[in-house]
Amino acid sequence: MYFSPTPGKMDLFSLHSGRKFNSQFSLRPYLTNEENSTTSSSNRTDDDVAPVAATDKVVVVGAASPLSTGSSDLEKDSASVSSEASSCEVTWEGLDDKLDPRNWSTLRKWIVIFQISMIAFVVTFGSSIYSCAVDEVHDDFHVSIPVATLGSCVYLVGFGMGSMAFAPLSEVYGRLIVYLITLLGFVLFQIGGGAATNIQTLIIMRYFQGVFGSTPLANAGGTISDLFTPAQRTYVLPGFCTFPYLGPVLGSIIGSFIVQSKLRWRWCFWINMIWAGSTWAMAFFILPETHGPTILSYKAKYLREVTGNTKWHTEFERSRNPKNAIYQAATKSVTIICTEPIVVCFTLYLTLVYGVVYINFESYPIIFKGYGFNTGEVGLSFIGNGLGIIIAGLATPLVYKHYKHCLKKRNNKVVPEDRLYPLLPASFLLPISLFWFAWTSYTSVPWIVPIISTIFFGIGLLITFFVSYNYIIDSYQGFAASALSSATLVRYSASGGLTMLARPMFLHLGTQWAMSLLAFLAVVMVPIPFLFLKYGKRIRQISRDACKD
C-alpha cells in the first residue's frame, strides 16, 4: 500500500491523520548539498534530521530560501522577507507529483475505492437489517408496531443529519480522520443497540448509528474526486454506488434469517458490530489520506520539523478557519437546496427512489407472506433488486464509452448535460417496474412474476443515482459538496418518514394501489432528465452557484 522509501520519494501514506510521517523524500526543492558546508542546528535532535542522510551538507538554495541560517545579504535586504514568505508556500511539485492522489497508481486508487465501498456497504447494511426485527422488538418491549418502526426511521434521519456535519469537516481536517472516528462511533453505538434494555435506548442508539454511519455517503464523492478526473469518475462512481445499494439488500436477507433462527433480534446488532469493527481495523491500517490540501499540510508540517523553520505553510493552512468553513458549508447547503432548480429536481428524484427502497423493506413482509413465505424467504425476495443493481454496475463500460465519445466530440470539454443520457431510458424503468410489481402481486399470480420486476427496478435505481450525482458534481464543481450534502439530508430524512407510512399505506390502500401510487410519482419524474438535457445549460447560465460553461 505504501510508497517504497526510495530517494526522491515521500512515503506520506504511513501518516494516518497525524500518525508518524515516514518521510524519505528529496529535499532538493528546498535544500542543496555542498561538500564543505555543515548542518549547524544546535537546537535540533537526531530525530529531527533523520530524514536527511548523514553525509548531506545543507546550504541555502537561493537568496530567498527559508533554510538560510546566516547570509549577510539576506539580513541586509528587507525585500527578502516577502520573497521568503512566498518561497515558503508548499504546493505540488509539478503535474506529475507522486504525492497528488490523482497521480497514484491504479491499484492504489482502487484499494481506496474498495475500502470506502466496504464502509458504505456496512453502514447501509445496518439500515435494513433492523426492519426484519421490528416484530420481535414490538413483542420484547411491548410497544406498538409504529413505535418499533421508529428504529428504522431515526437511522435514516441520522444519515441525513450526519452528512451535513461530516462533509464540511472532511474539507477542513481531511477525509481519513473523519472516516476513522465516525466508523469507530458507528461500531460503539452498535454495541449500545444490541445491549439496549428499553425502546427509548434502542431508538437513541439507532439514531446515532445513522449519524456516525453517514460519512461514506457524504464524503465518498469527495474521495472519488480526489483520485479521479471527471471522465474516470464515469466508471468509478457506479462501481462505488453498487455497494451502498447492495448493503440494504444483503441486510434484509441476513436479518430475516437471524430473526427466524434462535439468535433473535439482538444479533442483528452484534453481526453489524463485528463486520463494522473489522472494516474499521482494515481502514486504520490501509486507508490513506486523499484530500490534496491536507496532504500538502502534512508535507509543510514535516518541513517545519526537519528544517526548524516555522514559515513553511500551505495556502490551505493559511486560510483554514474550521468554524467559518462549517458554518458556510451548512448555510450554502440550505441556500442551494432552496434556490437551485438542478439540485431541487434531482433531490426529489433521488428521494422518491430511496423512499421506494425503504418502503419495500416494510411492505415486502406484508406482500410475500400472502404467498406463504416465512421470514427468511421474505428476505430472499430482495434478490431481484440486488441482481438489477449488479447488472447496472456491469453496464458501466458502455456508459464510460459514450461519455468518452462526448468528450472527444467537444475537445475534452466537460459538459454536465452529457451525463444525462443513460438516465433517459432508465427513467422509464422505474414506473414500469413499479406498475408491473403492483398488478402482478396477487396470490393467484406466481410469486416469481413480481420478483422479476424488481430486477428492472434495481437497474433504474443505480443508474438514477450515479447519473444524478455526476450531473450535480459537474454542474456545481466547487459547491458540489454542499449540493450533495443537502440532497443527502433531504432524501434520507424523507425516506425515514416514509418508512413510518409504509405499513399503514399498504394495509389501507392494498398492495396494488399503494405500489401504483409510487409508480404514478415515478411517472411524474420521467421528464426531469429530458428537460435538463435540453434546458440545463440555460438554467446553469442564470444560476448563482452552478458553473456557466
Same fold, 110-301 and 335-356+370-375+384-549: yes
Which residues lie closer than 8 Å to 513 by C-beta, 6 or more apart?
438
Q: Give me the amino acid identity at 388.
A: G
User: HSE (CB half, 13 Å, CA atoms) of 474?
Assistant: 25
Distances (CA, A) of 75 to 84, 201, 216, 386: 12, 66, 51, 70
What residues pair up with 22 in beta bridges, in sequence order?
11
Residues contacting 105, CB < 8 A, separation 6+: none
Residue type, 434: L
pLDDT of residue 483: 86
Q: Which parts of 28-70 are beta strand (E)?
A: 32-33, 58-59
pLDDT above 70 as % of the chain: 84
> Residues 150-170: pLDDT tens digits?
999 999 999 999 988 888 888
Confidence category of residue 29, pLDDT binned at 50, 70, 90: low
Q: Which of 288, 290, 289, 300 is nearest to 91 (CA)?
A: 300
Residue 131 is given by DSSP the state G
CATH code at 110-301: 1.20.1250.20
Domain-wise residue ranges, the chain: 1-61, 110-301, 335-356+370-375+384-549
Name, in order, each residue with C-beta under 8 angstroms of 401's C-beta and a sequence gap of 6 or more. none
Contact 491, 421 (CB under 8 A): no
| Residue 56 grid cell | 548531506
Q: How confident is the model at residue 255 (pLDDT cuts 50, 70, 90)?
A: very high
Q: What is the mean pLDDT of residues 196-202?
A: 95
State the average pLDDT over residues 50-63: 36
Say what the alpha-carbon torsion angle 231, 237, 238, 244 is, to the nearest 10 degrees.
180
CATH class of 335-356+370-375+384-549: mainly alpha
Cβ-based neighbours of 214, under 8 Å, separated by 6 or more: 123, 158, 159, 160, 161, 162, 163, 166, 182, 488, 492
Per-residue pLDDT, averaged over 161-181, amounts to 88
Q: What is the pLDDT of residues 427-447, one digit of tens each?
A: 999 999 999 999 999 999 999
pLDDT of residue 391: 95
End-to-end Cα separation, the chain, in angstroms: 38
Could you read off the pLDDT of 359-405 as tens digits, one per residue? Answer: 998 889 989 988 999 988 999 999 999 999 999 999 888 888 888 88
Q: What is the mean pLDDT of residues 343-372?
A: 92
Percent of the chain with pLDDT over 90: 54
Residue 46 has pLDDT above 50, yes or no: no
